[in-house]
Amino acid sequence: MSERPGWDAAPPDVDLRGVWTAVAAQVWRRKPGPFERLAGRLLRSPGLARALVTTPSLLLGWIIATVVVLGAGAAVTSKTGVPLVALLAPALAAAGIAYSYGPGIDPAWELTWSMAVSDRMMLLARALAVFGLNAALGLAASAVSLLAGSGAAAAVTFGWLIPMTAICGLALAAATLARSANVGVAAGLAGWAITVVAAGGSSGRFTALTDSAFVLPYLAIAACCAAVVVYATRIPRGTS
Amino acid sequence: MNVEIAGLTRRFGRNQAVAGVDLEAGHGVFGLLGPNGAGKTSLLRMMATVLPPSSGKMQLLGRDPGSYGPRREIRRRLGYLPQNLGYYPSFTVVEFVEYFALLKEMPAARVPAAVAAAVERADLGDKARAKLRTLSGGMLRRVGIAQAIVNDPELLLLDEPTAGLDPEQRVAFRALLRDLGERATVVVSTHLVEDVGAACTEVALMNAGKIVFRGTPEQLTARGEGHGVGDAPLERGYSAVLTEARS
């Protein structure tokens, strides 16, 4: 659309446009941050790495909010013995997963759908990164609670990782099917709330949440949800 | 032929947005005209591989977009500007264009020069480092055009590309379209009949999901002779064909 003034006046053997573009490319070049460089190496795709660092639920504000909530949970847990970290971590992770990718969350979602980097790969990379970060933050919060010497916390520490997997799977499946992050968050939170209330009501102890008898059902739910996500993001077969 | 479509349909529930379109297009600028709801955007979205067809055959750049491998190859060579371009407010112009160059799997070493060339061609050199949230609607449209052409696409699909551009920019944009059409297939969906007359080598007019006219802008103009509705000759042709299709 543009022709810079003076280009026509250049000698015919001088490609001013080419020179200017080369200069502009150097001046405007963006240097990826360390996390993006590392992700690029691990994923073997600079595009996927860039997509990862634009994940809404991996932005600094979201991470800070998660740290604050889990930190408060750890403080309450260590003082009262109520396993708040174990109750909060799955809900926070489910919200993060639902808000990792999709219409309304990614402003340029339709455009990213027309790209060579597969949207399924993008969803997978983002969901795994969000899950990993939330698991790490939850473990750190649990470790803090343990150091403070709460027996109740110790009973459920690390046990919430399996329920968290199921709840995250539920949130992701609902968000993918409904193409709405809010529906995903609602499904994840509702699923977790029902589980917590049912466990608290039946036994009076939240430790029932992480009873070894529930491990297989939790994993089965997570596997079913993963299958739903795979199906919902399948490659539409052509008609030719 | 870069685009080969036969009997393509797309349904949304009971509504048939595209009702059996046949289309072939080689190099050049192909204009897609039609009233609101004619099916232009649905057809363009199917060609952009973001919307699967309900039935029919489609080959893009000699490949079947229904299979993963060929579709990925098509997408590497495709440029697409959707009607509603979402943008990341905190990105700069260069960051946005670079993001989509990377998602198109351009070789990383080629990306900076390709981004600089696309930004310059879209006349955004002065705003290269401006945050997208600070740009006007017309400038954002040009950012969308820059990301669409960054990979020097063989198939370029533009949905209402001149929306928000001022008259001077529209004239420059038509020149860019003609230039791109020499090496690629450019399909432009637009309401603006004058864009078609100035830039397109061929035009199709859609109504109710079907192509009701296909020919050159001159042939469309000729269809309007003696027809009273419309200020410009091409508009009279557009109006005459639509009236005939609806009757």
Whether residue B199 lies inside any domain: the answer is yes
Q: Within a domain: residue B84?
A: no
What's residue B67's pLDDT?
87
Read off the pLDDT of each residue in A78-94 and give the average, rounded to a whole number: 83
Q: Quick one: angle between helices A119-147 and A84-98, nearest 10?
A: 160
Locate the DSSP E strands across chain B. Answer: 3-12, 15-25, 28-33, 55-60, 78-81, 155-159, 185-189, 202-207, 210-215
State the pLDDT at residue A238: 41
A111 vs B58, B85, B169: nearest CB: B85
Calculate how close chain A gets to B159, using CA atoms only, in Å: 12
Q: Do A30 and B95 touch (CB under 8 A)?
A: yes
Q: Residues B39, B18: contact at Cβ < 8 Å?
A: yes
How many of the other CB atoms lie within 10 Å of CB of B133?
A: 11
Yes or no, beta carbons of A54 and B88 under 8 Å apart:
yes
- Both tokens of residue A168? 């995250």
pLDDT, average across residues A123-131: 90
Residue B205 within a domain: yes
Q: Does A19 touch chain B (CB under 8 A)?
A: no
Q: What pLDDT shows up at residue A239?
A: 37
Nearest CA to B53 out of B42, B62, B63, B61 is that of B42
List Cβ neighbours of A80 (8 Å cut-off, separation of 6 or more).
none
Domain holding B11, by residue range, is 1-77+189-247
Q: Decide if pLDDT at A4 tops 80.
A: no
Whether A84 contacts A90, CB under 8 Å: no
In this predicted structure, the answer to whether residue A8 has a pLDDT above a threshold of 60 is yes
Residue B47 forms contact with A (CB below 8 Å): no
ipTM field: 0.86
**B195 located within any domain:** yes
CA-nearest residue to B101 within chain A is A47
For residue A20, how many other CB atoms are within 10 A of its CB?
16
* Neighboring chain B residues of A21 at a CB cutoff of 8 Å: 113, 116-117, 120
State the average pLDDT over residues A3-22: 72
Taking phi first (over 0 means left), then psi (-120 to 50 degrees means alpha), and beta for anything else, what does residue A237 get? beta
The answer, for A108 touching chain B at a CB cutoff of 8 Å, is yes
Q: What integer pLDDT is reported at residue A240 of this predicted model?
A: 35
In angstroms, the CA B78 to CA B18 distance is 22
pLDDT of B209 over the 80 cut: yes
Longest Cα–Cα distance in chain A = 87
| Contact at CB, B94 and A239, closer than 8 angstroms | no
pLDDT, residue B71, reads 93
Q: Is it the case that residue A236 has pLDDT exceeding 60?
A: no
User: Is B119:A28 a contact under the CB 8 Å cutoff?
Assistant: yes
Whether B66 contacts chain A with CB within 8 A:
yes
Q: Give the count of Cβ contacts less than 8 A between chain A and B.
A: 139
A16-28 and B111-121 helices, crossing angle to 10°: 110
Contacts of B22 in chain A (CB under 8 A): none
Q: Is A28 within 8 Å of B66 when comparing Cβ atoms?
A: no
Q: Which residues contact B33 (CB under 8 A, 6 or more apart)?
A: B40, B190, B191, B193, B196, B203, B204, B205, B206, B238
Whether B229 is in a domain gets the answer: yes
Span B16-66, pLDDT tens digits:
999 999 999 999 999 999 998 999 999 999 999 999 999 999 999 999 998
Residue A239 has its nearest CB partner, among B66, B73, B80, at B66
In this structure, is residue B168 part of a structural domain?
A: no
The mean per-residue pLDDT over the stretch B196-204 comes to 89
Q: B residues 135-194 near A, CB within 8 Å?
A: 142, 145, 147, 169, 172-173, 175-176
The CATH number covering residue B37 comes to 3.40.50.300
Average pLDDT, chain B: 91
List of residues 6+ apart from B84 with CB closer than 8 A: A110
Rounded CA-CA distance B98/B82 in Å is: 18
Residue B161 pLDDT exceeds 60: yes
Reply yes or no on whether the pLDDT at A207 is more than 60.
no
Full-model pTM:
0.84
Q: Is residue B120 part of a domain?
A: no
The confidence score (pLDDT) of residue B80 equals 96
For chain A, the distance separating the N- and C-terminal CA atoms, rounded to the nearest angstrom, is 38
- Report the residue from B65, B86, B115 with minimal CB separation from A108: B86
Identify the pLDDT of residue A205.
59
Residue B170 lies in a domain: no
Residue A104 has pLDDT above 80, yes or no: no
- What is the spatial distance between Cα B142 and Cα B148, in angstroms, rounded to a whole number? 10
Give the mean model confidence (pLDDT) for residues B124-150.
Answer: 93
Is a pLDDT exceeding 50 seen at residue A128? yes
Lowest mean pLDDT of B3-7, B12-16, B82-86, B190-194, name the range: B190-194
Measure in Å the smallest separation between the Cα of B14 and chain A Cα atoms.
Answer: 20
- Going by the DSSP 8-state scheme, the letter that residue A235 receives in this structure is P
pLDDT for the residue numbered A165: 87
B59:A240 CB<8 A: yes
pLDDT one-digit tens code per residue, A143-198: 877 776 655 554 555 577 888 888 888 888 888 888 788 888 899 889 888 888 87
Q: How many domains, chain B?
A: 1
Q: What is the mean pLDDT of chain A?
A: 81
Q: Under the phi-then-psi rule, with left for phi > 0, alpha for psi from -120 to 50, and beta for the rest, what region is A6? A: left
* pLDDT, position A237: 44
Contact A114 B50 (CB under 8 A): yes
pLDDT category at A210 given cuts 50, 70, 90 is low
Mean pLDDT of A37-63: 90
Residue among A24, A115, A240 whose CB faces B66 most closely: A240
Other beta carbons less than 10 A from residue A169's beta carbon: 27
